[in-house]
Amino acid sequence: MEGQSVEELLAKAERDEADKLQRITVHKELELEFDLGNLLASDRNPPTGLRRGEPPPEAELRALARDNTQLLINQLWQLPTERVEEALVARLPEPTTRLPREKPVPRPRPLTRWQQFARLKGIRPKKKTNLVWDEVSGQWRRRWGYQRARDDTKEWLIEVPGSADPLEDQFAKRIQAKKERVAKNELNRLRNLARAHKSRLPSSAGMHPTGHQSKQELGRALQVARVSTASVGRFQERLPKEKAPRGSGKKRKFQPLFGDFAAEKKSQLEMLRLMNSKKPQLDVTRAANKQMREEDQEEAAKRRKMSQKGKRKGGRQGPGGRRKGGPPPSQGGKRKGGLGGKMNSGPPGWGGKRKGGQHQGGKKRK
Amino acid sequence: MDALDRVVKPKTKRAKRFLEKREPKLSENIKNAMLIKGGNANSAVTQVLRDVYALKKPYGVLYKKKNITRPFEDQTSLEFFSKKSDCSLFMFGSHNKKRPNNLVIGRMYDYHVLDMIELGIEKFVSLKDIKNSKCPEGTKPMLIFAGNDFDVTEDYRRLKSLLIDFFRGPTVSNIRLAGLEYVLHFTALNGKIYFRSYKLLLKKSGCRTPRIELEEMGPSLDLVLRRTHLASDDLYKLSMKMPKALKPKKKKNISHDTFGTTYGRIHMQKQDLSKLQTRKMKGLKKRPVERITEDLERKSKRIKKN
């Protein structure tokens, strides 16, 4: 008896619960998808009663909307809440729907020259006061800007220093110095900006004609201009003394992926043979060229040193007359008589050695 | 060109703040919408634009004059407007014989048109025509999309994303539960999209969560999909790129099992168990006399060993 009454009580409690929740439960075949961060709900259920072909009545649409909104509100009421100034506030999660941005992601800007230097030296910005006491005017003035504390362009009396020209205008000189400093600051700012944008605008860096472009920038501008025709530079003739552009072809050439199977097999077997062999393979030509290049570099270094020493001692000739970078003996002969004797002694022996060296390899230099 | 913008240094703090507001940031501003009338907009279309402006206030700009442009042919004037007013969403209304009551809704990426979808308005009931109290402007609406058409075709999916982007309002972390006032409901059925907006009435139910009753409030539109101009896949992917700083960080050494228990791993250094600090019982502490005798014993043991 008691057992039955306990069961009855439990059943009744369940029914009460169901009744309570009946007002807010909605039955749907497919669960809705919620994105509470955006207060968004997506109902995937095909709208059943409304599929006739005529426009659905407003009451049906409203009933559907009511059901969906009820489900969304149920979800929202389950979020953690807190009380903020007499209002019940729910904490929303992050929105999960991914939407496109309105502007591109900002890229990190490279450090300016000063920032790099400060980082290297470990300099930290010191906190400075905004106002400084100005003795001259007897008040607190800004450190920089309009009506600043120590503005040397605004002085009414400047003593002419002893070493200066008495007819020089000292006031104008100070104003000129200020203008130069401002221009230098602006130049540095623009250079920092250009460095920041360098990766973004590589093509138009040297293309705008300023008065002072470097030789490489001009060369690059020339190349781009040549290729900017309708036939991509194919029928563009070169100027009389213009040389062919070097390094504009393909940088590396690869074999096609599959083509000549026999050649591929051969090259791979050759590679295996080389790897297995105990003796190191020596390419005589490459070794000889390398040796020659090293020798040339040493000589060039020596020549530079001699020329520096020669310049310092007032333009005296170095031994062997190696001043102007080893001109061919014919050109050396064209020089002045005074130098000619010395010049002739140097190069023949030296040139002979060179020619001998060149024949050693037997092939052109790479 | 924003490189040129930076070359010209702003002379006042206000100008500097203005430029900083418009430059690209990690976490972006709320998207503004611009509502433009075409050269031949009729009264219905104008009223639609005004109603949408009322929904989107204060994050919207309504242009009063007519602009003779065709968005689908030439997008330059739209891009110019977007750059001037810093708006990345737009809605353009026009009317002609071939496309009556036309509405073009679209969004921009980097001041260039990303997506544009043309909708035709078949039936329109304005805010003015429904005579009841409205909710205050600037409220964040709830959005509901019904119908499985919104996931079937790419056009509909983009339309859904565009509508969410347009109507969602500012992203907030907390929301006042009593302030959830209105809901925008989009139903896709038989090739048409029914847009209804309802005001929320919270009624008592037996438990904490209230029962909802809806009252029709705002503009209701019956729309049909016409032309689309969607962004190519790679441009869309580029626009969706999230900066690394905003991606949720994964915590290492934490794992969850199927029952919901969280497991964590802690890495300890090697401990010398003889030097472990245990609880000290004051009663068991050695008295000085006992300590001395212990020392003597130890010393004698050592001497014995040696």
Q: Does B221 touch chain A (CB under 8 A)?
A: no
Give which of B118, B131, B127 is closest to B193, Cα–Cα: B118
Q: Per-residue confidence at A248, pLDDT binned at 50, 70, 90?
A: low
Question: Quick one: average pLDDT of A286-310?
Answer: 89
- Contact call for residues B215 and B132 (beta carbons, < 8 A): yes
| A124-137 tens-digit pLDDT | 988 888 899 988 88
In this complex, the residue of A19, A100, A105 whose CB is nearest that of residue B243 is: A105
Distance CA B102, CA B71 (A): 12
Beta strands B102-109 and B89-94, pairing class: antiparallel
Instruction: Tell whether A86 and A139 lie within a shared domain.
Output: no
The torsion defined by the Cα of B64, B65, B66 and B67, in degrees rounded to 10, comes to -110
- From A90, A121, A140, the end of a domain falls on A90
Tokens of A4: 């039955």
Whether residue A40 lies inside any domain: the answer is yes
Which pLDDT score, from 0 to 100, does residue B13 have?
A: 92
Q: Does B24 touch chain A (CB under 8 A)?
A: yes
Instruction: Tell whether A84 and A130 lie within a shared domain.
Output: no
Instruction: Tell whether A123 and A74 lie within a shared domain.
Output: no
Instruction: Tell whether A75 and A126 lie within a shared domain.
Output: no
Instruction: Tell whether A76 and A118 lie within a shared domain.
Output: no
Q: Poorest-confidence range of A178-187, A336-345, B227-236, B256-265?
A: A336-345
Question: Quick one: average pLDDT of A352-361?
Answer: 44
Range of the domain at A138: 110-155
Whether residue B279 lies inside any domain: the answer is no
Distance CA A35, CA A43 (A): 12
Which pLDDT score, from 0 to 100, does residue B44 have?
A: 93
> Residues near A237 by Cβ (< 8 Å), separated by ≥ 6?
none
**Distance (Å) of CA B100 to CA A42, A200, B35, B43, B118:** 30, 45, 18, 12, 11
Give which of A228, A359, A353, A204 is closest to A289, Cα–Cα: A359
- From A90, A124, A142, the end of a domain falls on A90
Instruction: Tell whether A131 and A67 lie within a shared domain.
Output: no
Residue the block writes with tokens 């209804």? B196
Q: Per-residue confidence at A197, pLDDT binned at 50, 70, 90?
A: confident
Range of the domain at B147: 28-238
Instruction: Tell whether A86 and A116 lie within a shared domain.
Output: no
Whether residue B274 lies inside any domain: the answer is no
For residue A332, pLDDT over 50 is answered with no
Q: Regarding predicted confidence, which is higher, B245 or A314?
A: B245
Tokens of A284: 């005589």
In this complex, the residue of A58, A72, A100 whose CB is nearest that of residue B144 is: A72
Q: Regarding predicted confidence, which is higher, A239 or A288?
A: A288
In this complex, the residue of A39, A50, A106 whose CB is nearest that of residue B26 is: A106
| End-to-end alpha carbon distance in chain B | 91
Give the number of domains in chain A: 2
Q: Poorest-confidence range of A34-38, A331-335, B20-24?
A: A331-335
Give which of B3, B2, B39 is closest to B22, Cα–Cα: B2
Whether residue A149 lies inside any domain: the answer is yes
Give the number of domains in chain B: 1
Q: Per-residue confidence at B185, pLDDT binned at 50, 70, 90?
A: very high
Comparing alpha-carbon positions, the chain B residue that sits nearest to A76 is B177
Whether residue A199 lies inside any domain: the answer is no
Question: Number of helices (H) and strands (E), helices first, in chain A?
Answer: 9, 6
Whether residue B8 lies inside any domain: the answer is no
Tokens of A117: 């230097």
Comparing alpha-carbon positions, the chain A residue that sits nearest to B223 is A55
Give which of B45, B82, B97, B51 is closest to B66, Cα–Cα: B45
Question: Quick one: average pLDDT of A276-286?
Answer: 83
Whether residue A165 lies inside any domain: the answer is no
Whether residue B4 lies inside any domain: the answer is no
- Contact call for residues B73 and B39 (beta carbons, < 8 A): no
Whether residue B39 lies inside any domain: the answer is yes
- Contact call for residues B231 and B115 (beta carbons, < 8 A): yes
Whether residue A64 lies inside any domain: the answer is yes
Tokens of B145: 């999309």
Distance CA A90, CA B250 (A): 25
Of A16-25, A109-118, B271-280, the range with the highest mean pLDDT is: A109-118
Whether residue A100 lies inside any domain: the answer is no
| B130-152 tens-digit pLDDT | 888 888 888 899 999 998 888 88
Instruction: Tell whether A85 and A15 lie within a shared domain.
Output: yes
Distance CA A319, CA A310 (A): 10
Instruction: List CB contacts (< 8 A) between B145 and chain A.
Output: 40-43
What single-letter DSSP state applies at residue A69? H
Please tell me whether the peptide bond between B58 and the residue prior to it is cis, using omega within 30 degrees of 0: yes
Q: Per-residue confidence at B3, pLDDT binned at 50, 70, 90?
A: low
What are the two backbone dihedrals, phi and then psi, of residue A131, each rounded to the nearest 5 degrees?
-110, 145
Mean pLDDT (chain B, rounded): 88
Instruction: Tell whether A24 and A85 lie within a shared domain.
Output: yes
Q: How many other C-beta atoms lie within 10 A of the C-beta of residue A173?
A: 12
Q: How close is the nearest chain B Cα to the Cα of A181, in Å?
A: 17
Distance CA A51, CA A270 (A): 74
A77–B194 C-beta distance less than 8 A: no
Whether residue B21 lies inside any domain: the answer is no
A81–B185 C-beta distance less than 8 A: no
| A83-97 tens-digit pLDDT | 888 888 999 998 989
Tokens of A340: 């000619």
B173–A88 C-beta distance less than 8 A: no
Which pLDDT score, from 0 to 100, does residue A318 have?
A: 43
Whether residue B171 lies inside any domain: the answer is yes
Q: What is the percent of chain B with per-residue pLDDT over 90, rounded to a whole number? A: 48
- Contact call for residues B68 and B39 (beta carbons, < 8 A): yes
For residue A328, pLDDT over 60 is answered with no
A-B C-beta contacts closer than 8 Å: 197
Distance CA B191, CA A237 (A): 62
Distance CA A327, CA A316 (A): 18
Q: Does B238 touch chain A (CB under 8 A)?
A: yes
User: Please, what is the Cα angle at B168 between B163 and B173, to 5 degrees?
Assistant: 150
Which pLDDT score, from 0 to 100, does residue A312 have?
A: 66
Q: Does B198 touch chain A (CB under 8 A)?
A: yes
Question: Quick one: average pLDDT of A248-273?
Answer: 84
Distance CA A348, CA A354 (A): 10
Mean pLDDT (chain A, rounded): 79
Whether residue B15 lies inside any domain: the answer is no
